[in-house]
Structure 1
Amino acid sequence: MPRTNYRSQTTFTVPSQGSVSLPPLRPPSPNHEVYITFPISSKIATGLHWHETHTEYLQIIQGVALVTLGDSTERYTAKSGVITIPRYTVHESRHVDLIVKEWTDPADGEKAIFFRNVVGLILDRDPAARTLQNLRTAWNLFVVFWEWDNFPRFVKMPRLWGLGNSVERGVTWAILGSAALIGRWVGVRGTYEEYGTKDDLRP
């Protein structure tokens, strides 16, 4: 798939779905906050997922978000303050005409590189792509998820003596890990120079 060089770009818009504003790649910014805007027509949701090396923070700037933390879903607005999402906590955000700010601890800039690669792949995808091409894009997104601490929950298990969480994580690790392992042999990577890489996080 041909890749567009988005390295100098800081705002990315997916038509009718929303936009994301990111810090510049060069020079590295001390500000690692990410701003995401969803119009009222957007049907995007993050999907249930968790992070293993980062605590995530959300703050609603405008609008309303439905945020799921574990098994509880609540409405959040700008008056709700900062939403803290601990590591390994399964969570999801659904949006209604929303602007939200996200950042992480550690504040290492990885979230911005993650978004650069995810949105870059989506924007470079051929809208008229056939099923096989769409599957390859999904495969590439799985490798990006693996590379950048974003683990989707593919199955929901009963909470039996703590085994449910272990099974859920095991399934996700098996799927993403296999995608990344096979991807190494065929050039499907978690970062692309045209979008942004770990090298861009270095001073």
Structure 2
Amino acid sequence: MATEASPLLSGGSGNNKRTSTANQKVFTRPLPNAVTYDLSTPDQATIRLPPGSTWTSGPHWHDTHTEFLQVIKGRAEVILGFRGPGARGSKGKGNGGRDGSAGAGGEVEEEEEDEDGEGVTVMPAVTPLDGVVIIPRGTVHEWRRSRALLSRSPQGDGEVQHEEEEELVVKEWTDPKDGQKETFFRNLNGIILDALAAEAELSRPRRGGAGQAAEQDAEGGEEDDSEGPKSWRMRTLDLELNNLFWRMDNWPLVLDRDGGWPGWMHGLATRAVLLGSVVLGKILGFKGVYGEYEAQR
């Protein structure tokens, strides 16, 4: 679930309601981290990243769900890291098959082992020919648009060729199929889009010019403090997201993955930060999951 929260609503801003998305199945967020989530199929998300998008799922793991990624169009870079706390099963070592062996597409590059003796597997250019990438429970993973300049011939003849940048389309699902995937993505997008809307409202000409915040995705991009204060929603976005992550089995790394920390330390740090966010969230009224964003069947 993507490397990868709509804050408490400020009473004086006029943005004191959440946008109902009960009948919405497709969610789109703008550049630079442009992404579209299609939730039309139950228990499955189809994620589209246009050319130029810098979106990434961010490194994270799931304690109770095995995740599956399948590239439908374009090329994806997939990184499988060490196994975090609570990991069960073998670590996926590659793409293209349920045995975890490397598929035909993009070479698998093994990096150095971490403190726990677990290697990091980098698949720089996963394509539709590579089949399904299996991510066992507890395995830290991240995916984004491929940054590789070369890819295989679509005829599958093993020849490498230059290729124009194209849209990346990835299908993502989990085992068990318990509805959590859709709930997570619905709340994730509802929260972020409401925060962006609040920021756009704050950036209206009454402040003396259009601000840049409305053009920035909540997952990245620095903002100029000279443009004025952020909306309350945007200021508390990370806190709200942490409440969502805690409730939806989505555990982001909060320590640097390349910092040499052992897996147990990553697990401890992540759980401590998210637990602290939940405690603070109870005080401020954050829940992470809201009825306004839930699908209407």
Q: Please classify the TM superposition score into its range, dividing by the shorter chain length.
A: 0.7 to 0.9
Q: 21, 34, 49: which is aligned to 2:38?
A: 21
Which ranges of 4 or more aligned residues in structure 1 deviate by more than 4 Å? none
User: Given the two structures, how large is their TM-score scaled by the length of structure 1?
Assistant: 0.87
- Give, in whole Å, the separation in 1 of the partners of 2:76 and 2:186: 23
Helix, strand or coil at the partner of 1:194:
helix
Deviation at 1:45, TM superposition (A): 0.5
Partner of 2:22: 7
Task: Using CA pairs under 8 Å that are at least 6 residues apart, name the structure with larger relative contact order, 1 or 2.
Answer: 2
- Aligned pairs, how many? 189
Instruction: Quote the sequence identity (%).
Output: 38
> What's the counterpart of residue 145 of structure 1?
245
Deviations 1:80-136 (A, max 9, x none): 100000011000001153100000000011011100001001111123463463231
Contact 2:199–2:230, Cα closer than 8 Å, also in 1: no
Matched, 1:72 2:121: yes
Q: Give 1:1-203 correspondences, 5 Å limit.
A: 1=9, 2-16=17-31, 17-23=34-40, 31-70=42-81, 71-74=120-123, 75-96=125-146, 97-125=167-195, 126-128=198-200, 130-131=229-230, 133=232, 134-155=234-255, 156=257, 157-158=259-260, 164-196=262-294
SS in 1 for 2:292: coil
- TM-superposed deviation, 1:64: 0.4
CA RMSD of aligned residues (A): 1.8
Gaps of 5+ in 1: 24-28
Q: TM-score, normalised by structure 2?
A: 0.60
9-18 or 130-139, which deviates more: 130-139
In structure 2, the residue matched to 1:26 is none
| Displacement after TM superposition at 1:42 (Å) | 1.0
The structure whose Rg is larger is 2
- Once the two structures are TM-superposed, the CA of residue 39 in structure 1 deviates from its matched residue by 0.3
Structure 2 residues not aligned, in runs of 5+: 1-8, 10-16, 82-119, 147-166, 203-228
| SS of residue matched to 2:236 | helix
The structure that is strand-richer by fraction is: 1
Shift in Å, 1:148: 0.4
